[in-house]
Structure 1
Amino acid sequence: MRRIATSLRLRLLFGTLLWIVVSIAATGWLLQQMFSDHLARQFDHELNIHLNQLAASIEFDVAGNLSVQPLSDPRLQQPYSGLYWQIDALPGPGTRAQNALRRSRSLWDSRLQAQADQLGDGELHTHQITGPNGETLRLNERIFRLEERPQQPLRLLVAANEQWLQQPLQALRAPLFGSLGVLACGLLLAAFFQVWAGLRPLSRLRRELSTLREGGRSTLGRDHPAEIQPLVDELNTVLQNNSEFAERARLQAGNLAHAVKTPLAVMANAAQAEDTSLGHLIREQVAIASAEIDRHLNRARSAARARHAPGRCAVKPLAEGLVRVMQKVHGERALDFNIQLSDSLEFRGQAEDLQEMLGNLIDNASKWARQRVSIRAGQELGRDYLDIDDDGPGIPETQRPLVLQRGRRADEQTPGSGLGLAIVDDLANQCGCRLELLSSPEQGCRARLWLAPRSSAQPAG
């Protein structure tokens, strides 16, 4: 029931199914009841015809003896046929009661045992009695008086086997319920189609949102049904506002970078001329401050980008460009850079974010590598990852969580602020990625960057 309560499709189908079942059941019961009532009226009408024929066939001779002319229905002549008549004499002035004064041949040597009843002249009563063979009979009776003998009231009884009434009803049930079953199946199929067709625009909207999240489009379509289009328009407005907000955030981040880093650059240049411990301290602190500013600005820009639909970028061209830069930065060491990436590999996000993360990882590997830096791609459980390997001294397993903290370095003698891996780790979390430090087969360190899953939303950081 919990699943039905949380699923619009199941709620619609369950409600429709319940209504169809109740309606079909009520319709079947009502039709059967109407047909049963119609058969009962027809059955009673036929018994009344026999009563009228019986009344018309009664005669008294001059001696006062009662005689009955044969009735037209041949069943009345066949013993125990199921159709019977009987005439009882009721007590009157100068007359006495006599049961079964006359009876049909079909009764043979039996009698209709009708219950005592108070009948008025012209009244018609209907009863159920037991027949000569133990069957249930439907009996109609009335009082009859001949004009020439009004002092002699007669009780006329006509009865028929009630099974004749039930047989047509039983014969109707199979085709009736079969037809209603076919109707119910047709209505269920129509309900399934109606729910499918009614919810199809929502499935389309979900696909558009998935494509938008993965960077395949920037807005939702404008040709949805009239009931959904207002919601789509509101979503498009939100997306546009978020895009404008992100653009302003980038602009403000750039302005802040220029406003803060320019005085720091002046301080760094002035400290270059001071070959003293104070000058060395200033240069070191300026470098730390610049790196910290870069870290927070990158985080702000990434958070702003995460507010609107991410794009896509090919990984291989971006990695090749970063390697060309590193070859110049570390040119004096003649490092061997090996790139093994597929042309079809894509990063679901902003190219600036991947460039920031991959650039820091390649730069860190270049600082520690002796001769070789490798960049490879792989996949595990449907999720892509990038491995950046170096053949340097590596990082002990106990120190790997520490180097991801701000300002912490595995070797304090190596130049740097200790913020590179921390920046990558923060940015990766914001982009739906994950950074993992492992041991490299080349005896150095392996930095594994898990890319964002293909169907996951980018976290807002």
Structure 2
Amino acid sequence: MHKGSISARLFWLSALWLVVALIATGLLLTALYSRALERSQIETLNFNLETLVARSLESNGLDSPEVQAADPRFDRSTSGWYWQISSLEGDLINLSNSLVASQIPQLLTPFDKQNARTGILSDDFGTRLRIIERKVTVLGTQYIFAVTGNVDDIENLTGQFRQQTFIVLGAVGIMLAIMSALVARVALRPVGKLAAAIEKVRSGEAPSVEGIYPRELTPLADELNELLRSNTQIVTRAKSQVGNLAHGLKTPLAVLRNEVANRDDELAGVVHAQVEKMNEQVKTYLDRAQMSARSSIIGSRCNVNKVVPRLVRVMQKLHKERVCS
């Protein structure tokens, strides 16, 4: 009875595990990449904020043209990379070239102990911005320095990375699936070898399961050989007992036949007929015992296609009056 394939089960289980593992790996790599981009953006914004503060302190005034951020992205309009300097009341003092005709959204969260605060808001163009603000005292007056970075850029880069990652992982998954299928076939070859050895025993070509098998299959092969030896001993004893019984009955039957040989009454005829039937049965079982003794392998088989035609030819010669085919 066949119920599925071990190699197919191994393949589908490994394929399912590969799909789950690769998807989890892709999501994990994407999350790590996104976090790395966020940390890089925050470090870049802090660097440019410190640059603005330093140049403001070195210049003649906060509205001086010398006050500029180091990153050229602050010069591109609607890039999402903005900076501005404003008073506590919200009056603009200086701003980046990218912030022309616009203004950085105002954060409502309070400043922390380092006089800094951060948040994510959208500008007038719908671009999501990461905003970092810091209160700085210049010549006894407090000002708010603010810089922003484009959060949508991070999401776009993350999406592209996710797509490329799953393409690569998909190719790796296909190669691993092919490899797992090959490994399953190679790993199950000893099982096929064991099945072939058992078939040889069943067909009478071998007396026992022969061959060298892996450690996992060796106990099974040994147990099969023990079972075969046990069955052989049982069958041998049964045949011996049948032969002994036939030999034991042969002498009493001969005596009975001799006793009724010289009598011609009805009882003698009945006894003689039954004795002859019993002699035929005894002879049959003795012949079978002799044939079994010649065979060293229990369960040996012959090629019917070769034997039957010969028997038909013999029967046709012996019984020409009958049709044998």
TM over 0.5: yes
Note the C-alpha offset of 1:267: 1.2
Counterpart of 2:210 (choices 191, 211, 221) is 221
SS of aligned partner of 1:220: coil
Paired position in structure 2 for 1:231: 220
Give the distance between the partners of 1:163 and 1:47, measured in 2 at CA: 15
- Could you tell me whether the CA contact under 8 Å between 2:240 and 2:289 is conserved in 1? no
SS of aligned partner of 1:171: helix
- Could you tell me whether the CA contact under 8 Å between 2:7 and 2:181 is conserved in 1? no
Distance verdict in 2 for CA 1:73–1:322, change over 3 Å: closer
- Could you tell me whether the CA contact under 8 Å between 2:110 and 2:117 is conserved in 1? no
Moved more, 22-31 or 294-303: 294-303
Note the C-alpha offset of 1:121: 5.4
Note the C-alpha offset of 1:123: 4.1
Give the distance between the partners of 2:84 and 2:274, measured in 1 at CA: 127
Counterpart of 2:232 (choices 235, 240, 243) is 243
- How many residue pairs get aligned? The number is 319
Distance verdict in 2 for CA 1:104–1:304, change over 3 Å: farther
Moved more, 188-197 or 31-40: 188-197
Give the distance between the partners of 2:52 and 2:188, measured in 1 at CA: 70
Note the C-alpha offset of 1:36: 0.7
Paired position in structure 2 for 1:171: 160
Paired position in structure 1 for 2:53: 55
Percent identity among equivalent residues? Answer: 29
Counterpart of 1:25 (choices 23, 26, 29) is 23
Residue 109 (structure 1) aligned with residue 107 (structure 2): no
Note the C-alpha offset of 1:33: 0.9
Moved more, 252-261 or 73-82: 73-82
CA offsets, 1:24-80, max 9 Å, x none? 122111111111111101111111121112212325999xx7424341444434432
Residue 67 (structure 1) aligned with residue 63 (structure 2): yes
Distance verdict in 2 for CA 1:177–1:110, change over 3 Å: same
CA offsets, 1:241-275, max 9 Å, x none? 32233233222221211111221122123222212
SS of aligned partner of 2:302: strand
- Could you tell me whether the CA contact under 8 Å between 1:143 and 1:153 is conserved in 2? yes
- The equivalences for 1:81-92 within 5 A come to 81-90=79-88
- 1:9 is aligned with what amino acid? S
CA offsets, 1:271-326, max 9 Å, x none? 22212212111112223434555678899999999xx74112355668858987xx
CA offsets, 1:90-141, max 9 Å, x none? 1xxxxxx234343223221211122212114534432111113121112111
- 1:80 is aligned with what amino acid? T
- The equivalences for 1:197-212 within 5 A come to 197-212=186-201
Distance verdict in 2 for CA 1:249–1:187, change over 3 Å: same
Distance verdict in 2 for CA 1:266–1:35, change over 3 Å: same
Residue 289 (structure 1) aligned with residue 278 (structure 2): yes
Answer 1 or 2: which has greater helix percent: 2
CA offsets, 1:424-444, max 9 Å, x none? xxxxxxxxxxxxxxxxxxxxx
Counterpart of 2:242 (choices 234, 249, 253) is 253
- The equivalences for 1:45-444 within 5 A come to 45-58=43-56, 66-68=62-64, 69-71=66-68, 72-90=70-88, 97-120=89-112, 122-146=114-138, 148-149=139-140, 152-291=141-280, 309-313=298-302, 337-338=315-316, 372-376=321-325
SS of aligned partner of 2:207: coil
Distance verdict in 2 for CA 1:67–1:313, change over 3 Å: closer
Give the distance between the partners of 1:155 and 1:309, measured in 2 at CA: 100
SS of aligned partner of 2:264: coil
Distance verdict in 2 for CA 1:309–1:87, change over 3 Å: farther
Moved over 6 A (4+): 294-305, 321-324
Q: Which has the higher contact order (CA 8 A, sep 6+)?
A: 2
Distance verdict in 2 for CA 1:303–1:39, change over 3 Å: farther
Moved more, 205-214 or 14-23: 14-23
Distance verdict in 2 for CA 1:188–1:295, change over 3 Å: same
Paired position in structure 2 for 1:347: none
Give the distance between the partners of 2:291 and 2:71, measured in 1 at CA: 101
Note the C-alpha offset of 1:158: 0.7
Distance verdict in 2 for CA 1:250–1:323, change over 3 Å: farther
Give the distance between the partners of 1:53 and 1:116, measured in 2 at CA: 25
Distance verdict in 2 for CA 1:190–1:60, change over 3 Å: closer
Note the C-alpha offset of 1:207: 1.2
Give the distance between the partners of 1:61 and 1:216, measured in 2 at CA: 102
Give the distance between the partners of 1:142 and 1:295, measured in 2 at CA: 113
Distance verdict in 2 for CA 1:121–1:260, change over 3 Å: closer
Note the C-alpha offset of 1:179: 1.7
Note the C-alpha offset of 1:85: 0.9
